[in-house]
Amino acid sequence: MIQKNKNITPVRKKKKLITMQMQFLLLALPAVILIFVFNYLPMSGIVIAFKNFKFSRGIFGSEWVGLENFKFFFKSSDAFRVIRNTLTYNFCFIVADMIFPVAFAIFLSNIRKKFAVKGYQTAIFLPYFLSWVVISYMTLSFFDYNSGMFNMILQKCGKAPVSWYSETKYWPFIFIIFHVWKNIGYKTLVYYASILGIDTSIYEAAKTDGCSDFRSIFHITVPMIRGTIIMLAILQVGSIFRADFGLFYQLSQNSGALINVSDVVDTYIFRTLMVTGNTSVSAAVGVVQSVVGLILVLLTNYIVGRIDSDSTLF
Amino acid sequence: MKREGLAIRAISNMALIFLAVCCIVPFLSVISSSLTEESYLTRYGYNLLPKKFDFSAYKLLFTNGNTLRNAYMVTAFVTAAGTVGSIVVSAQFAYTLSRREFMLSKFLSLYLFITMLFSGGMVPWYILITRYLHLKDSLFALIIPCLVSSWNIFLLKSHFKAVPEEVIEAARIDGANEFYIFYGIVFPIAKGGIATVAIFIMLTFWNDWYNNMLFITSPEKYSLQYMLQSLLLKVETLQIAQSSLGADVGEIPKNSIRMATCVAAAGPMVFVFSFFQKYFVKGITVGSIK
């Protein structure tokens, strides 16, 4: 009897193990297939960037041109403009996203009344739920030439109305302001949560040692949430060569007059693909974007690891 | 000392009130413009408070505007199918990643992680969907390519990791298979966490206009957001919308209709989402702790 059991159990166990693995695999399968099709297959499509792609001929039938598409982009006058805009805007976004949400999270942490905290949170969270299309309607109600609020105010003050959608000088500020406006509720909340995570006994200890409330903000709160600040910043640095397409496309109403300040990598890729129809150049810029993104993520993660090994992403 | 604390609180309140007002004002301008009579809009421009109340834009929109009804149906379908599909696919996958007994869980985590670091870019993705999968002008192009997002899967994985090991072991000893363990036991335990992810997915589907712009060509398949966008950027869409309202281009309240459509597109979700804010807050704070 005992011997029999000894012989059967391992076989049965093994069989059971295999069925379990198969069941796991079946559960994972739909996602595995989708990831393969929509993430891995397009990676092989990178060859488009090295070919003169024609829709009718397909990827494999198109003619091989080597680095011509990359050369075309980097030699064009668009390249400088697109890269300059993308990098500058993203740099400003990173700085602004560090300053304002941290500041407002600290403000929020000073509020004692619970209903007030909730009220503020709800209000500053509202823009996050909107699409850029809806936000572009809001900005239109401010900047419209004929009936926009700003021009109405200007006219009331006896000044000439401004043609907002063709004046480039205002738009860098408008883009930055609305980027902050849309995301501030989300980011503030992330920082607020990590402020709430700070051990309150630290504040009490500091207070008994004679540290003022104002000083404890800079000497306790900010250092304690440093990890979160760094982590969010790395994420943003890693995608510094990617732009928020909606912000630049919708808010500017895709106005041609603003292209000098509104054209970023993602709008360029979109335009060359859908409007100009230069598929291969578009793909080439996409490859540059992906490669630069990969290098930046690895690099920032490495640097942060050297400075503060707890704050790395992986 | 005490006075300092008071001053800090006063400054905090003032700053937050200022920010809250900044966040609400643009809402007011769109809502009040949609409620203002067209002739007042032309004369006095958009305003934060309606100069003269008038519901005609909404009346026109809801009584005989089948463009809006179509768009609502499209958005509702894409959002519902997309959210359910995405949760099923992602949660199943995240569960297998969270189980150490699954031999491939490490490998598949890497398989997913690589997609976060590197992609083939938009162009090959677009060509794959239109030329090889033939999904151009199909609503499935708005759903299937967007079902899996690595970030959501990692979030879900952390929720499943929090499910107590003993529960799963006990079920397995009782002879339950993995499907039952997942849908019968783990899913109900983790449903709070799943809801926080689901609500983010829902928001992404509801607010999507980009994939519409890439893939959809026939106007009856426009989603709310894309219809709204083309109402502003393409004159033809406005004309189609107007002719479907059964009136000449000249006599239709153009600006207030636009703003009313905007309210109709954003309103329901803003309402729903501020109602479910609790879940958002949870989702974000969990994500930040990773």
Q: What are the structural domain ranges in chain A?
A: 1-32, 68-311
Together in a domain, B64 and B49: no
Fold classification of A68-311 is: MetI-like fold (1.10.3720)
pLDDT exceeds 50 at position B290? no
pLDDT exceeds 60 at position B208? yes
**Whole-number pLDDT of residue B235:** 57
> What DSSP designation does B53 have?
B
The closest alpha carbon to A70, from A86, A43, A49, belongs to A49
pLDDT digits (tens, 9 = 90+) for B103-146: 898 999 999 999 988 888 899 999 999 888 999 999 999 999 99
Together in a domain, B4 and B113: no
pLDDT exceeds 60 at position B250? no
Among chain B residues, CA nearest to A128: B270
pTM for this predicted structure: 0.88
Tally the domains of chain B: 2
The closest alpha carbon to A29, from B197, B88, B180, belongs to B88
Residue B109 tokens, joined: 């985590």
Residues B189-218, mean pLDDT to the nearest whole number? 90
Together in a domain, B41 and B144: no
* Distance in angstroms (rounded) separating the CA atoms of residues B249 and B253: 9
Together in a domain, B41 and B86: no
Together in a domain, B261 and B273: yes
Among chain A residues, CA nearest to B1: A212
- Partners of A124 on chain B (C-beta within 8 Å) are 16, 19-20, 23
The rounded percent of chain B whose pLDDT value lies above 70 is 89
Name the residue with higher pLDDT: B59 or B240: B59
Considering CB atoms only, which of A42, A125, A129 is closest to B125? A42
Domain span at residue B44? 1-54
* Distance in angstroms (rounded) separating the CA atoms of residues B84 and B95: 16
pLDDT exceeds 90 at position B88? yes
Neighbouring CB atoms inside 10 A of A12's CB total: 11
Together in a domain, B122 and B37: no
Range scoring the smallest mean pLDDT among A95-109, B74-88, B272-286: B272-286
Considering CB atoms only, which of A138, A213, A289 is closest to B30? A138
**Whole-number pLDDT of residue B220:** 86
Together in a domain, B34 and B63: no
**Whole-number pLDDT of residue A297:** 84
- Partners of B208 on chain A (C-beta within 8 Å) are 131
The closest alpha carbon to B117, from A242, A238, A245, belongs to A238
Together in a domain, B31 and B153: no
**Whole-number pLDDT of residue A2:** 46
How far from chain centre, in Å, is Cα A29?
A: 29
Together in a domain, B265 and B152: yes
Together in a domain, B131 and B153: yes
**What are the residue ranges in chain A where pLDDT is below 70?**
1-9, 308-314
Q: What is the mean pLDDT of chain B?
A: 84
Q: Is residue B93 within 8 angstroms of chain A, CB to CB?
A: yes
CA distance B50 to chain A (A): 13
What's the CATH code of the domain at B237? 1.10.3720.10
Together in a domain, B19 and B142: no
Residue A107 tokens, joined: 């403000």
Together in a domain, B103 and B134: yes
